[in-house]
Amino acid sequence: MRDEHFEIFVEEFGEVTTRVPAPSSAIEGWRSTMPSALLDYWSEEGWSGFGKGLFWIVNPDDFEDLLAEWLEGTPLAKVDHFHVIARTAFGKLYLWGEKTGASAEIVASDHSVLCLERDLKKPIKNPDLALRGFFSGRDPSYADALDQDGKPLFQRALQALGPLQPDQMYGFEPALVAGGAARLENLRVVDMREHLSMLRQLAGPQFPMGGLDID
């Protein structure tokens, strides 16, 4: 049965449109690491896409190597042990820190890591409440990507390119960091893992919200 926080999330994003059941063995493997609320969501909702694929709950195991690749050499690698718990159609990765909760996001298309130093220095007291708040606080407009004119892309990409499978995302070709432009005609349906790895190889992530003093 959905709690009020997840009900709010579904009201904002819409129902499951691509369902991938989460095996009980995989859920139990994260029992000592993740909040019980997240494991309950996995059990009830699976690792699934919502809102026609705009937002996905994911299996962190599928992203452990990619996350290590993206965080290598960054201050975040020293702050906490992070895992990817959700992502968007455009490769924004939502991270969960074992000590700091939902304290960072990777916006792969922009090669940026969004985080605030104060959040990374403040351990969460109630992981379940923080996790539920993460879902109820999501906004579809912030999960979308914008073109160079500041207009949302998801609905137009969905119409032009079709829906995504669980292992796919919409990616710019050429990549923005390689001189590409954020235009609908430059979007492609790409293999998510291959594209995210390729982007990281092109350049390291930046921290546009400020430098991190973690000492």
pLDDT tens digits, one per residue of 97-145: 999 999 999 999 999 999 988 889 889 999 999 999 999 999 999 999 9
Place of tokens 């449109």: 17
Q: Enumerate the domain spans of the chain.
A: 4-202
By C-alpha distance, which of 91, 120, 96, 127 is closest to 108?
91
Considering the entire predicted model, what is its pTM? 0.95
Residue 210's pLDDT band (boundaries 50, 70, 90)?
low
Q: Rounded to whole angstroms, how far apart are CA atoms 53 and 51?
A: 5
Interatomic CA distance for residues 139 and 60, integer angstroms: 22
Alpha helix locations (H) across the chain?
4-13, 24-29, 36-45, 64-71, 76-79, 117-120, 127-136, 140-143, 154-161, 192-202
**Contact of 66 with 201, CB cutoff 8 Å:** no
